[in-house]
Amino acid sequence: EDQVTQSPEALRLQEGESSSLNCSYTVSGLRGLFWYRQDPGKGPEFLFTLYSAGEEKEKERLKATLTKKESFLHITAPKPEDSATYLCAVVHYGGSQGNLIFGKGTKLSVKP
Amino acid sequence: NAGVTQTPKFQVLKTGQSMTLQCAQDMNHEYMSWYRQDPGMGLRLIHYSVGAGITDQGEVPNGYNVSRSTTEDFPLRLLSAAPSQTSVYFCASSGGGWGQETQYFGPGTRLLVL
């Protein structure tokens, strides 16, 4: 069964305390992996797209990496404004065109 | 560009009522989709469209209808609302082709069915 699993479910950090979020996937033929940020009461906001193992993308304090089985979202020296739920999703060749399979998300809280 | 817009932002329905959730995008995207988000369940695909006149079912299509008469609009219809349809609904769009899979989401519609 095609599946996306995110861990941990929730993560509490102190401001400046770096950490990583994990997204593992079991799909037949990855076409793309996506990271989104979602604030309470808002729609998911696009962060990164990764297409192949070894690929890395960076944006401010965030860095996303991809292997053949999982992706990591590294957060360096986080600030309180980084608090949000981070969602991972995949598109694969076996699925219908463009359809995303989402994980359940990691809720990040950064305390000052 | 407004991106993806959704109306209404919030709606309360009684069981058995019908309504249409509106979604529009101004990015000339071919692919559009509807998701629902429930606590502990993540985002689940309801229906999607790969272009005007073409729609198909996602993971949880029962109780919902869609149509796509233009590239810009993709309304979601609830025929006879049930309490199980209480959820937050998101519309998304993407270019749809190779290298254009990134989907952009609207702000959502919160639906409460009593």
User: What beta strand segments (E) does chain B contain?
Assistant: 4-7, 10-13, 19-25, 31-38, 42-51, 54-57, 64-66, 76-78, 87-94, 104-105, 109-113
The amino acid sitting at B69 is S
Å between B112 CA and nearest CA of chain A: 15
pLDDT tens digits, one per residue of B18-52 = 999 999 999 999 999 999 999 888 899 999 998 99
Q: If we measure between CA atoms, which residue out of B74, B69, B71, B82 comes closest to residue B111?
A: B82
- At residue A95 the predicted structure's pLDDT band, cuts being 50, 70 and 90, is low
Find, in chain B, the residue whose alpha carbon is nearest to that of A96: B58
For residue A92, the cross-strand partners are A30
Residue B98 has pLDDT above 80, yes or no: no
State the average pLDDT for chain A: 93
- Out of B40, B45, B90, the one facing A99 most closely (by C-beta) is B45
Percentage of residues in chain A having pLDDT higher than 90: 81
pLDDT tens digits, one per residue of A70-87 = 999 999 999 999 999 999
Which chain B positions have a beta carbon within 8 Å of A102's beta carbon? 42-44
Task: Give the pLDDT mean for A44-58.
Answer: 95
